Chains A and B, each alone.
Chain A
Amino acid sequence: AQSVSQHNHHVILSEAASLELGCNYSYGGTVNLFWYVQYPGQHLQLLLKYFSGDPLVKGIKGFEAEFIKSKFSFNLRKPSVQWSDTAEYFCAVTLNQAGTALIFGKGTTLSVSS
Protein backbone atom coordinates (compact mmCIF):
# COMPACT_ATOMS: atom_id res chain seq x y z
CA ALA A 1 0.00 0.00 0.00
CA GLN A 2 1.11 3.54 -0.61
CA SER A 3 2.43 5.43 2.38
CA VAL A 4 3.99 8.73 3.33
CA SER A 5 6.76 9.03 5.90
CA GLN A 6 7.69 12.17 7.75
CA HIS A 7 10.94 11.62 9.57
CA ASN A 8 10.74 14.33 12.17
CA HIS A 9 7.99 14.11 14.74
CA HIS A 10 8.86 17.31 16.57
CA VAL A 11 11.29 20.01 15.49
CA ILE A 12 12.31 22.85 17.77
CA LEU A 13 14.05 25.87 16.29
CA SER A 14 14.94 29.40 17.21
CA GLU A 15 13.74 32.28 15.10
CA ALA A 16 15.83 32.89 11.98
CA ALA A 17 17.05 29.30 11.89
CA SER A 18 16.67 27.37 8.66
CA LEU A 19 14.11 24.63 8.36
CA GLU A 20 13.99 21.39 6.44
CA LEU A 21 11.27 18.81 7.03
CA GLY A 22 11.66 15.45 5.39
CA CYS A 23 8.97 13.60 3.48
CA ASN A 24 9.24 10.35 1.58
CA TYR A 25 6.55 8.37 -0.16
CA SER A 26 6.31 4.81 -1.31
CA TYR A 27 4.74 4.45 -4.73
CA GLY A 28 6.39 3.60 -7.97
CA GLY A 29 4.06 5.52 -10.22
CA THR A 30 3.37 9.19 -10.76
CA VAL A 31 2.16 11.15 -7.77
CA ASN A 32 1.00 14.62 -6.92
CA LEU A 33 2.66 16.03 -3.82
CA PHE A 34 1.40 18.48 -1.23
CA TRP A 35 2.41 20.16 1.99
CA TYR A 36 -0.34 21.36 4.30
CA VAL A 37 0.03 23.39 7.49
CA GLN A 38 -2.27 23.43 10.51
CA TYR A 39 -1.74 26.39 12.81
CA PRO A 40 -2.93 25.98 16.41
CA GLY A 41 -6.70 26.01 16.48
CA GLN A 42 -7.02 26.44 12.75
CA HIS A 43 -7.84 24.21 9.82
CA LEU A 44 -5.48 22.70 7.31
CA GLN A 45 -4.16 25.13 4.73
CA LEU A 46 -2.33 24.34 1.53
CA LEU A 47 1.29 25.51 1.61
CA LEU A 48 2.38 24.29 -1.78
CA LYS A 49 1.95 21.51 -4.27
CA TYR A 50 3.82 19.77 -7.06
CA PHE A 51 2.22 18.09 -10.03
CA SER A 52 4.85 18.34 -12.77
CA GLY A 53 7.51 20.62 -14.21
CA ASP A 54 10.15 22.40 -12.16
CA PRO A 55 10.84 20.13 -9.18
CA LEU A 56 11.50 23.14 -6.95
CA VAL A 57 8.18 24.67 -6.03
CA LYS A 58 7.54 27.79 -4.05
CA GLY A 59 4.58 28.20 -1.78
CA ILE A 60 3.11 30.74 0.53
CA LYS A 61 4.89 32.39 3.45
CA GLY A 62 8.37 31.78 2.05
CA PHE A 63 8.18 28.00 2.00
CA GLU A 64 9.53 25.88 -0.80
CA ALA A 65 9.85 22.19 -1.48
CA GLU A 66 11.95 20.09 -3.80
CA PHE A 67 10.77 16.94 -5.49
CA ILE A 68 13.57 14.42 -5.99
CA LYS A 69 12.09 11.57 -7.94
CA SER A 70 15.03 9.23 -7.47
CA LYS A 71 14.72 9.55 -3.71
CA PHE A 72 10.91 9.54 -3.61
CA SER A 73 11.23 12.67 -1.52
CA PHE A 74 9.49 16.02 -1.25
CA ASN A 75 11.24 17.93 1.52
CA LEU A 76 9.92 21.24 2.79
CA ARG A 77 12.31 24.12 3.41
CA LYS A 78 12.34 27.66 4.69
CA PRO A 79 15.55 29.71 4.97
CA SER A 80 14.56 31.62 8.08
CA VAL A 81 11.66 30.61 10.32
CA GLN A 82 9.52 32.93 12.38
CA TRP A 83 7.68 32.39 15.61
CA SER A 84 4.44 32.46 13.61
CA ASP A 85 5.55 29.34 11.73
CA THR A 86 4.83 27.28 14.84
CA ALA A 87 2.36 24.69 13.56
CA GLU A 88 1.79 21.13 12.49
CA TYR A 89 3.04 20.32 8.99
CA PHE A 90 1.66 17.47 6.92
CA CYS A 91 3.07 16.00 3.76
CA ALA A 92 0.52 14.29 1.52
CA VAL A 93 0.34 12.62 -1.86
CA THR A 94 -2.31 11.60 -4.32
CA LEU A 95 -1.83 9.09 -7.04
CA ASN A 96 -1.80 10.72 -10.44
CA GLN A 97 -5.37 9.81 -11.12
CA ALA A 98 -8.08 12.38 -10.87
CA GLY A 99 -10.13 12.33 -7.73
CA THR A 100 -8.00 10.07 -5.58
CA ALA A 101 -7.79 10.77 -1.88
CA LEU A 102 -4.84 12.32 -0.11
CA ILE A 103 -2.52 9.99 1.73
CA PHE A 104 -1.09 11.86 4.70
CA GLY A 105 2.11 11.51 6.62
CA LYS A 106 1.90 11.52 10.41
CA GLY A 107 2.81 15.18 10.59
CA THR A 108 5.68 17.17 12.08
CA THR A 109 5.19 19.60 14.91
CA LEU A 110 7.35 22.69 14.49
CA SER A 111 7.95 24.85 17.54
CA VAL A 112 9.76 28.14 16.97
CA SER A 113 11.01 30.09 19.95
CA SER A 114 11.46 33.83 19.76
Chain B
Amino acid sequence: GAVVSQHPSWVICKSGTSVKIECRSLDFQATTMFWYRQFPKQSLMLMATSNEGSKATYEQGVEKDKFLINHASLTLSTLTVTSAHPEDSSFYICSARVQATDTQYFGPGTRLTVL
Protein backbone atom coordinates (compact mmCIF):
# COMPACT_ATOMS: atom_id res chain seq x y z
CA GLY B 1 0.00 0.00 0.00
CA ALA B 2 0.84 3.72 0.06
CA VAL B 3 1.99 4.00 -3.53
CA VAL B 4 2.63 7.36 -5.13
CA SER B 5 3.12 7.84 -8.85
CA GLN B 6 4.42 10.73 -10.89
CA HIS B 7 3.97 11.51 -14.54
CA PRO B 8 5.95 12.03 -16.62
CA SER B 9 9.09 10.36 -15.33
CA TRP B 10 11.19 12.60 -17.53
CA VAL B 11 10.55 15.55 -19.81
CA ILE B 12 12.65 17.71 -22.09
CA CYS B 13 11.28 21.08 -23.10
CA LYS B 14 12.35 24.29 -24.75
CA SER B 15 13.07 27.40 -22.76
CA GLY B 16 9.94 29.51 -22.30
CA THR B 17 7.46 26.65 -22.41
CA SER B 18 5.41 25.32 -19.51
CA VAL B 19 5.54 21.81 -18.13
CA LYS B 20 2.96 20.07 -15.95
CA ILE B 21 3.93 17.26 -13.58
CA GLU B 22 1.30 15.07 -11.96
CA CYS B 23 1.52 13.38 -8.58
CA ARG B 24 -1.04 10.74 -7.68
CA SER B 25 -1.65 8.71 -4.56
CA LEU B 26 -2.79 5.39 -6.00
CA ASP B 27 -4.24 3.52 -3.05
CA PHE B 28 -4.98 6.17 -0.47
CA GLN B 29 -6.34 9.67 -0.18
CA ALA B 30 -3.99 12.47 0.65
CA THR B 31 -5.20 15.81 1.89
CA THR B 32 -1.61 16.98 1.95
CA MET B 33 1.05 16.50 -0.68
CA PHE B 34 4.51 18.00 -0.84
CA TRP B 35 6.73 19.02 -3.72
CA TYR B 36 10.51 18.78 -3.46
CA ARG B 37 13.41 19.54 -5.70
CA GLN B 38 16.57 17.46 -5.62
CA PHE B 39 19.85 18.56 -7.13
CA PRO B 40 22.50 16.00 -8.07
CA LYS B 41 24.18 14.45 -5.05
CA GLN B 42 22.17 16.67 -2.74
CA SER B 43 19.26 16.36 -0.40
CA LEU B 44 15.63 17.18 -1.07
CA MET B 45 14.59 20.79 -0.77
CA LEU B 46 10.96 21.43 0.06
CA MET B 47 9.32 23.71 -2.46
CA ALA B 48 5.73 23.80 -1.32
CA THR B 49 3.00 22.11 0.65
CA SER B 50 -0.11 21.32 -1.32
CA ASN B 51 -3.41 21.06 0.51
CA GLU B 52 -6.51 19.70 -1.17
CA GLY B 53 -9.01 22.42 -1.88
CA SER B 54 -6.86 25.32 -0.78
CA LYS B 55 -3.86 27.32 -1.90
CA ALA B 56 -0.43 25.82 -1.65
CA THR B 57 2.04 27.08 0.90
CA TYR B 58 5.38 27.93 -0.67
CA GLU B 59 8.77 27.90 1.00
CA GLN B 60 10.81 31.05 1.13
CA GLY B 61 12.53 31.73 -2.15
CA VAL B 62 10.17 29.64 -4.27
CA GLU B 63 8.26 31.72 -6.81
CA LYS B 64 4.61 30.80 -6.60
CA ASP B 65 3.85 32.37 -9.96
CA LYS B 66 6.50 30.22 -11.58
CA PHE B 67 5.71 26.95 -9.84
CA LEU B 68 1.94 26.64 -9.93
CA ILE B 69 0.48 23.96 -7.70
CA ASN B 70 -3.04 22.63 -7.90
CA HIS B 71 -4.44 19.99 -5.55
CA ALA B 72 -7.90 19.56 -6.97
CA SER B 73 -8.67 16.13 -5.57
CA LEU B 74 -7.64 13.89 -2.72
CA THR B 75 -5.47 11.80 -5.01
CA LEU B 76 -3.95 14.30 -7.41
CA SER B 77 -1.64 17.28 -7.14
CA THR B 78 -0.03 18.98 -10.12
CA LEU B 79 3.04 21.15 -10.38
CA THR B 80 3.30 23.39 -13.43
CA VAL B 81 6.64 24.97 -14.18
CA THR B 82 5.74 28.06 -16.16
CA SER B 83 8.05 29.71 -18.66
CA ALA B 84 10.75 27.19 -17.88
CA HIS B 85 14.40 28.17 -18.11
CA PRO B 86 17.53 26.00 -18.07
CA GLU B 87 18.08 26.78 -14.38
CA ASP B 88 14.77 25.04 -13.66
CA SER B 89 16.27 21.78 -14.85
CA SER B 90 16.17 19.45 -11.91
CA PHE B 91 14.64 16.37 -10.36
CA TYR B 92 11.19 17.11 -8.96
CA ILE B 93 9.78 14.73 -6.37
CA CYS B 94 6.38 14.69 -4.75
CA SER B 95 5.21 12.99 -1.60
CA ALA B 96 1.78 12.26 -0.23
CA ARG B 97 0.97 12.12 3.43
CA VAL B 98 -1.05 9.32 4.98
CA GLN B 99 -3.03 11.25 7.54
CA ALA B 100 -3.62 8.34 9.92
CA THR B 101 0.09 7.66 10.36
CA ASP B 102 1.47 11.12 9.52
CA THR B 103 3.95 9.42 7.23
CA GLN B 104 4.92 10.62 3.77
CA TYR B 105 5.38 8.32 0.80
CA PHE B 106 7.35 9.46 -2.18
CA GLY B 107 6.83 9.33 -5.90
CA PRO B 108 9.59 8.20 -8.25
CA GLY B 109 10.40 11.72 -9.35
CA THR B 110 10.35 13.63 -12.63
CA ARG B 111 13.55 14.62 -14.39
CA LEU B 112 13.03 18.00 -16.10
CA THR B 113 15.55 19.21 -18.64
CA VAL B 114 15.04 22.66 -20.12
CA LEU B 115 17.01 23.37 -23.28
Contact = CB atoms under 8 A, between A and B. Distances in A.
B108 A42 contact: yes
What is the size category of the interface that chain B forms with chain A? 20 to 34
A28 interface: no
A45 B106 CA distance: 7
A40 B43 CA distance: 14
B93 to A, nearest CB: 7
B105 A46 contact: yes
Contacts of A78: none
Contacts of A44: 44, 93, 95, 106
B42 A106 contact: yes
A107 B43 contact: yes
Contact of A102 (B41, B42, B46, B107): B46
A43 B44 contact: no
Contacts of B31: 99
B43 A102 contact: no
B104 interface: yes
Interface in A85-114: 90, 94, 98-99, 101-107, 109
A32 interface: yes
Contact of B44 (A34, A46, A51, A90): A90
B71 interface: no
A45 B104 CA distance: 10
B104 A102 contact: yes
Given A98-B99, A102-B44, 14 more contacts: A32-B102, A43-B106, A43-B107, A43-B109, A46-B103, A49-B103, A51-B102, A99-B32, A101-B46, A102-B104, A104-B43, A105-B43, A107-B42, A107-B43
A73 to B, nearest CB: 18
Interface string A23-42: 00000000010101000001
A25 to B, nearest CB: 14
Nearest to B107: A43
17 contacts: A32-B102, A36-B106, A44-B44, A45-B106, A46-B103, A49-B103, A94-B102, A98-B102, A99-B32, A99-B49, A99-B102, A102-B95, A103-B46, A105-B43, A106-B43, A107-B42, A107-B43
